[in-house]
Structure 1
Amino acid sequence: MTRPKELRFNAFNMMAPSHNWAGLWSHPRDTSLNYNSLDYWVDYARTAERGLLDGIFLADVFGIYDVYGGSPETALRHAVQLPNAEPTLLVSAMAYATKHLGFGITSNLSYEHPYQFARRFSTLDHLTRGRIGWSIVTGYLDSGARGMGLEANRAHDERYEAAEEFLTASYKLWEGSWEDGAVRRDRTARVFTDPARIHNVRHQGLHYQVDGIHLAEPSPQRTPLLYQAGTSKRGRALAARHAEAIFLNGQTKPILARAVREIREAAKALGRDPYDIRLFAGATVIVAPTRAEANDLLEEYAGYVDQAGQLALLSGWTGIDFSNYRPDQAVQYVESNAIQSMVENFTLRSDRPVKVGDLATLSRVGARSPFVVGSPQDVADELIAWVDETDVDGFNLFRLVAPESLTSFVDLVVPELQSRGVYKTAYREGTLREKLFPGRGPYLDPTHPGAGFRRASAAARTEAAE
């Protein structure tokens, strides 16, 4: 196994007062109560760029966590990812305040249509000058489906079948509707666009139908950088075929290493280079100048984590109502219509029983992913060890107390990693895709299935004919 030359990081957040750790919004130094203000997000983006992070990954969920106790009451009372706001609207302001930082946005395709969706992300790619990515998700909350007038969410595998079709239709719009050179902007001839280089897109599928010209001209990346976050068997198949970056979890190194290996093997079986996919593990990092201070900080933070809120969050993720469990009871495998990979990690893949009460604590067991506490040297040692032993490329840094957790990482861990030669000292130029894959152009790699929908330009067709 060869460790990447440099580690990669995203700041992982959500436009809500609470994200992965319920209750931390109540910490006196936390500013997440300002989640719906632009100043909060612009400052956050500037801190991330100061730390040379690859991007901010904006998670989103469509629906309410009402599995716990069969009611939304706990989620509402404790701000369990609710209220939340539309993350795409944040990006323009953050992009204006930064120059290099990328932006990955979760957007649930189950309640979108490719025609309008493709225009929205083309617009974001234009406004960010090629720094936008889309995290492909299909949703897991029945409450969201009911809010959209449906009885329940699609069945797990059917959601992924719909995702394949959604991607195909989107590729046709992003890659095949407008040729390179179609936009002339010729004031003298008074011709803005050459109609001969614009093509109507037709897609007739089981879930989506399209008949129209893509409304946006080609953006710097055409197709946004493609993230994916599902590591169930069906999710891995989608990711191996389409994703350029994948977010995954695993509370132990063997669990995470297995997930990484399965994704890379699946990509190779499809004819892709397994390392054409950047893999980011979720990570909770608590750092202070000394190990003792970091442990004190952990104890302090832990006192603000809301256990009922945390179990409401986990119930929504897994589809298991943990209000029916005792704290000392081990999680049992249940096949659900929610996030199957998380249930598998707690049960089938775990080397020991995972107790429900432990999942509600700010701890290694409760983290569901790498949990790192210590001095800058400790944190650097541990992050490098996770990369060496699991083959991940980097980490999505979970929000804890905002903004101090991110600021501490930037001020303490980044210089330590730079001193060891495993972290960049400056940004590369180019789009988000070019930054994540040095030496590659701004568009999808020619081996990617989406690239097959790209039309040759008129110049290329002429050259081929000659």
Structure 2
Amino acid sequence: MSRTPIILNAFNMNSVGHINHGLWTHPRDQSSHYHTLEYWTDLARELERGLFDGLFIADIVGVYDTYGQSAEVTLRESVQLPINDPTLVVPAMAAVTQYLGFGVTVNLSYEQPYLLARRFSTLDHLTRGRVGWNIVTGYLDSAARAMGQPQQLAHDERYDRADEFLDVLYQLWEGSWADDAVRRDRTQRIFADPRRVRPVQHHGRYFDVEGYHLAEPSPQRTPVLFQAGSSGRGLRFAARHAECVFMAIQDKAATAALVRQLREEVVRAGRQPGDVKVLVGITPVVGRTPRDAEEKYREYCRHASPEAALAHLAATAGIDFSAYQRDTPLLAQHKSNGIENSIRRLAGGREHYTLGNLLDELALGGRYATVVGDAGQIAGELQSWVDEAGVDGFNIARTVVPESFTDFIDLVVPELQSRGLHKRAYEGGTLRHKLFGQGDRLPARHPVDGWRFRAAAPSLQPEAVHP
């Protein structure tokens, strides 16, 4: 049976702890070397050996300080703290690879579009078109306080601001320089034709920007756009802008429903359902035999920290779990407020869901769907997610680094290839072309098209249409 190869990204963070917390204590784990270039260049080479599509680097601004109303556990267990800038490691990895893509998370709530546009254009140049941007608006009040604000903007307003932020970026990336603006003509002494470069003039609710984009057009112009919002407003934002949407739901049926909802929103936004690829987060623990995998899982669990995972989750859900006992029924604690929905997602339909149940599910230090087995079992589970949930690929979360990625490459990748689910060689071209097979640039049906440089266009500010 002929199948479309799945998208495979490695999921990592420029920190010690990422999703599966506590495993930095494992004797074979190398994540504490995250602050060295060798850690990243060695990882990039390994992922390219496994024909991964990309390395997806998460990021967070702020700290997890809800659990116990302090950052004590966060610091003790390195729950995404300390954390370094994810963009700065990309050029080094690009220098030692030819094909691997890089999806980099940047929180736009604490950025200005004028300089962020240059940063991503620079990365797109240095990677020769292999960079993507994971757009996030943040969710931690600790970040707002650190940035001089009493609290974050309200949830939906953060997306309103993000819509305008993207419109400014599109003008800079796509509308300031014509494709033929850069001539590099030594004889005529014309590096860039002034007639083919225009300043952006944007005056909106959140941003006032007047000026030329500082970078010449890069291979993709706009980086591949990733996004992870699953709320109603987040889905509308994704439907308008995103090319790849990341979901972290453990249940296939719930994921399938959200995928359908997203694709319906994409169509309502004037795009095609296939214009957006859906990726789900998953944690594989693979062995050469099922018994080997189970033993490895138990070994990993002995080093994992459910409490560290609880500190992470506390900030995400807005609940100080440290105040509860193991037998505390969580739904009974949160009736008739927004937190109840978070608990119901955790409970998965179970009415009597206790803190003890939650801690048991955090045995590996995180709550991503965990698959334990040999290569055939892992490949079969990934295939079932594609068939039953309608996803296009996976962000493979790390456990013990780099062992977990090496195991996946050596054992699971050949099995996926034998099933027609993974490529046997890279195609050339930019990250966008590899993912969609339709060239380097965003298609005309994407809203970016309204901002593109056109010879007859009198200005760079057509009327913006916000959801």
* TM tier relative to shorter chain: over 0.9
Distance 1:89 1:271, change over 3 A: same
Give per-residue Cα distances to partners, 1:314-335, cap 9 Å, x unaligned. 0111111111222233443679
Following TM superposition, where does structure 1 have runs of at least 4 consecutive aligned residues deviating by more than 6 angstroms?
334-338
SS of the residue 2:448 aligns to: helix
Q: Are the equivalent residues in 1 in contact too, given 2:305–2:364 (CA < 8 A)? A: no
The 5-angstrom pairing of residues 393-432 of structure 1 reads 393-432=392-431
2:252 corresponding residue in structure 1: 253
2:346 corresponding residue in structure 1: 346
Distance 1:40 1:364, change over 3 A: same
1:12 corresponding residue in structure 2: 11
**In structure 2, distance between residues paired with 1:264 and 1:421:** 25
Q: What amino acid is the match of 2:444?
A: P
2:447 paired residue among 446, 449, 453: 449
**In structure 2, distance between residues paired with 1:258 and 1:27:** 37
Distance 1:335 1:169, change over 3 A: farther
Distance 1:331 1:94, change over 3 A: farther
The 5-angstrom pairing of residues 59-458 of structure 1 reads 59-332=58-331, 345-347=345-347, 350=349, 354-361=353-360, 367-438=366-437, 440-456=438-454
Q: What amino acid is the match of 1:285?
A: P
Distance 1:369 1:189, change over 3 A: same
Q: What amino acid is the match of 2:14?
A: M
Give per-residue Cα distances to partners, 1:416-438, cap 9 Å, x unaligned. 01011111000111100000001
**Runs of 5+ in structure 1 lacking a partner?**
459-466
**In structure 1, distance between residues paired with 2:156 and 2:214:** 31
Q: Are the equivalent residues in 2 in contact too, given 1:179–1:198 (CA < 8 A)? A: yes
CA shift, 1:362, in A, is 6.0
Distance 1:457 1:385, change over 3 A: same
Q: Are the equivalent residues in 2 in contact too, given 1:18–1:81 (CA < 8 A)? A: yes
CA shift, 1:457, in A, is 5.4
**In structure 1, distance between residues paired with 2:446 and 2:46:** 33
Q: Are the equivalent residues in 1 in contact too, given 2:21–2:366 (CA < 8 A)? A: no
Distance 1:457 1:12, change over 3 A: farther
SS of the residue 1:289 aligns to: coil
TM-score (norm 2): 0.93
1:463 corresponding residue in structure 2: none
Q: Are the equivalent residues in 2 in contact too, given 1:251–1:367 (CA < 8 A)? A: no
TM-score (norm 1): 0.93
Q: Are the equivalent residues in 1 in contact too, given 2:181–2:197 (CA < 8 A)? A: yes
Q: Percent identity?
A: 51
**In structure 1, distance between residues paired with 2:338 and 2:269:** 27
1:43 corresponding residue in structure 2: 42
Q: What amino acid is the match of 1:452?
A: G
2:460 corresponding residue in structure 1: none
Distance 1:271 1:87, change over 3 A: same
CA shift, 1:370, in A, is 2.6
Distance 1:336 1:134, change over 3 A: farther
**In structure 1, distance between residues paired with 2:202 and 2:235:** 25
SS of the residue 1:320 aligns to: coil
Distance 1:75 1:301, change over 3 A: same
1:464 corresponding residue in structure 2: none
**In structure 2, distance between residues paired with 1:302 and 1:416:** 26
